[in-house]
Structure 1
Amino acid sequence: MEIKVLGPGCARCRSTVETIEAVAEAEGVPVTVTKVEGMREIVGYGVMSTPGVVVEGRVVHTGSVPTRDQVKEWLK
């Protein structure tokens, strides 16, 4: 499963990556997490508030660090 975290590399963006990787490992779901830091690409997804999360090409979250439960739902 391909997941992109959109953001400039701030603490919330790093925390988002860590949360996604931790939940995926705990659930046994193989994921590839890519950080997208270029503002043009971020805005291209229509994301105006970071961090944003894109799962399999679809924006599923913006503006805050997702909860572990939210990440579990995306991994289903």
Structure 2
Amino acid sequence: MIVKVLGPGCRNCHTLVTRTREALAALGEDAEIIEVSDIGEIAGYGLMKTPGLVVDDELVLGGKVPTVRQLTELLRGR
């Protein structure tokens, strides 16, 4: 699984990275997490508001920072 966190590197972006790591650990998933700050690449996903979360090249979340529990549910079975 490849997970990308899209955003300019703001506090919310860093929080999303941390919570995503915690959710993946809770699921026992081994995933690569990539932080993407390139505006062109972010726009390529159609994201209008950061931060965003991309799982295996599919935008699954944008514009908010969910809880670890919400992220666990979102990532389960992917």
Which runs of structure 2 are paired with 1:53-64 in the superposition (5 Å)?
53-64=53-64
Long gaps (5+) in structure 1? none
Supply the RMSD in Å over aligned alpha carbons. Answer: 1.0
Task: Name the CA shift for 1:31/1:75 in 2 (closer, same or farther; >3 Å).
Answer: farther
Long gaps (5+) in structure 2? none
Alpha-carbon distance, 1:17 to partner: 0.3
TM-score if structure 1 supplies the norm length? 0.92
Which runs of structure 2 are paired with 1:61-76 in the superposition (5 Å)?
61-73=61-73, 74-76=75-77
Give me the whole-angstrom Cα distance separating, in 2, the residues matched to 1:59 and 1:26. Answer: 21
TM-score if structure 2 supplies the norm length? 0.90
Matched residue pairs, number? 76
- Matching residue of 2:16: 16
Farther off after superposition, 44-53 or 66-75: 66-75
Which portions of structure 1, spanning 4 or more consecutive aligned residues, are displaced by more than 3 angstroms?
Answer: none
